[in-house]
Amino acid sequence: MRGDTMRVVIVGAGLAGLTAAVELVAAGAEVTVLEARDRVGGRMHGISATATAVADGGAAYLGVRHTALLEQVEEYGLHLASTGMVGDSTFLVSDRRTTTASRVPPLDAVALGDLFDRLEDLVASVRPDAPWSSPQAERLDRVTAARWLADEVTHPDARTFFPLFLGEMMAADPAAISVLHMAFYLRSGGGIRYLNAFEGGAQQWRIDGGAHLLCEALGDRLGDRIRLSSPVAAIEQGDDGVLVRCVADEDGRSSEYRADRVVVAVPPLLAERIDFLPGLRTPRATAATGRGCAVKVHLGYPDPVWRQSGLSGWSVSTDGPLLSTVDDSPPDGSAGVLTGFVTGAEAIAYSALPGDRQKEAALAHTHRLFPQLPPPTHFAVTDWLREKYSRGCYAALFGPGDWLQLGPTLTEPHGRVHWAGTETSLEFFGLMEGAIRSGRRVATELIHGAESAIPSRKVLSR
């Protein structure tokens, strides 16, 4: 970094914003991080699943290709826990319960194979570096994944499995995303086989004690540079810098921060709610852009009691609310944590229920899956659809037309305003790895003086 010290305000203390902040501080910048919540971490959040065990309420899994994330895990002295499963899988298909050593649901194997062959061909046709420039991009971005399924797949078993697969991979309802977004997401993450795999895949490990520990470690390094409970309302820029204005508190007072540059590191739907002056040339989200539809349910037990019956805790159901479950118990088995995933359209319906009904529905489903289990000692729901400062999880869902409209300017600075967040990363879009890479990218832009036309307004001299 050359010349006078650069002042940077970063909006959002999720993994992308924290990564960018640490990189910029190391380069000599004066950094302030504004976070709307009363904690750091964004969509990485630890939940008390038992009296002694913390589980991931948000982002959780990583694999060997997630090199930037693994570097941070090592740098901050964190440890990995294997997600390797021992025991049989449980399937609840049309209310018929079966257990088997296989992780493949008891559906027609030929039909599922044909579905994946078609998906593989589709994924291979998308440009990972510029999906909006892919062959047939206009057609693929107009059509929803649900329409593609109706047109391309006839076997009922494949049609049953498809929304379960997209729910697990993307927390998406097929009717809410474009085919281009589906294909790009799967390619960006390393391909279908890698994303879907535990051993050797994108779900090989989780961070022991919770992924939120990484964000807390980054936050500790930044110290009092972070301002919590500081939601940003407006970003006003001109020739002489940027003014960032926070939402007024209960007393009507609004904090203001001046900077040379701003990094907006929040999901697109949140960025779109910020008042930019001058206004954005292209939006960060459109009416078609959706929330990642994910709710996580954690059931806590004194120990992983399902293992006593030879079960792994892994399950798949064709009906909700718990479309899948997984054993997230501590590596030493000191407690039992069963995590249930409610995704896609099921998540929307489940989120609309009052808390007591959510618990009742989840426990009833768990009893159908694992009738031998006692009642859990702990129960927790993390409803990302209701999270005001996330607007969904795992990541924003790009609907029809979004990639053609939003894609080319995802990372293009708006004057002194720069962009970060996993939704701005063309590598591992939607994953923790993508968030880190986006934070490093934007820090490099600022450190090496990437320029963009500054709107001709002197708004900060008053």
Amino acid (1-letter code) at residue 211: A
Output the pLDDT for position 461. 37
Average pLDDT over residues 300-321: 96
229, 255 contact by CB (below 8 A): no
Question: Does pLDDT of 454 surpass 60?
Answer: no
Q: Find the helix or strand (DSSP H, E) in which 112 lies.
A: helix 109-124
Average pLDDT over residues 436-456: 79
Q: How many CB atoms lie within 10 A of CB 350?
A: 23
Please give the Cα distance from 169 to 187 (Å, whole number). 12
What is the band of 3 on the pLDDT scale with cuts at 50, 70, 90? low
For the chain, percent of residues with pLDDT exceeding 70: 97
Report the mean per-residue pLDDT for the chain.
94
pLDDT digits (tens, 9 = 90+) for 396-414: 999 999 999 999 999 999 9
What is the band of 456 on the pLDDT scale with cuts at 50, 70, 90? very low
Please give the Cα distance from 447 to 444 (Å, whole number). 5
**What stretches of 204-248 adopt beta strand conformation (E)?**
205-207, 226-227, 232-238, 241-246
CA atoms 60, 63, 67, 72: torsion sign = positive
Output the pLDDT for position 449. 81
What is the band of 41 on the pLDDT scale with cuts at 50, 70, 90? very high
Cis peptide before 321 (omega within 30 of 0): yes
User: b or e along 15-24 (b: 16 or more beta carbons within 10 Å of the residue's beta carbon)?
Assistant: bbbbbbbbbb
Angle between helices 145-152 and 156-170 (to 10 degrees): 160
Question: Does pLDDT of 2 surpass 80?
Answer: no
Sheet containing 205-207: which strands, arranged edge to edge? 61-62, 205-207, 80-82
Cα Dmax for the chain: 71
Cβ-based neighbours of 452, under 8 Å, separated by 6 or more: 412, 413, 414, 415, 416
Q: How many CB atoms lie within 10 A of CB 303?
A: 14
Question: Does pLDDT of 1 surpass 80?
Answer: no
Sheet containing 417-419: which strands, arranged edge to edge? 226-227, 30-34, 7-11, 261-264, 417-419
What's the token pair of residue 264? 């907006």
Output the pLDDT for position 249. 79
Average pLDDT over residues 64-73: 98
Q: Tokens 């559906």 — which residue?
A: 107
Question: Does pLDDT of 462 surpass 60?
Answer: no
For the chain, percent of residues with pLDDT exceeding 90: 91
pLDDT digits (tens, 9 = 90+) for 176-217: 999 999 999 999 999 999 998 998 999 999 999 999 999 999
What residue ranges define each of the domains in the chain, with the CATH number in brackets? 7-42+213-287+401-447 (3.50.50.60), 46-87+200-209+290-386 (3.90.660.10), 109-196 (1.10.405.10)
341, 324 contact by CB (below 8 A): yes
pLDDT digits (tens, 9 = 90+) for 349-395: 999 999 999 999 999 999 999 999 999 999 999 999 999 999 999 99
Output the CA angle 151-317-380, nearest 5 degrees: 125
Question: Does pLDDT of 40 surpass 90?
Answer: yes
Count the helices and strands in the chain (H runs, E runs): 14, 21
Output the CA angle 18-20-24, nearest 5 degrees: 115
Backbone angles phi, psi at 41, to 5 degrees: 120, -25
207: β partners = 80
229, 37 contact by CB (below 8 A): yes
- Burial degree of 61 (CB within 10 A; 0-12, 13-18, 19+): buried
Question: Does pLDDT of 124 surpass 90?
Answer: yes
What's the token pair of residue 251? 């007393």
What's the token pair of residue 297? 């349910």
CA 356 to chain centre: 27
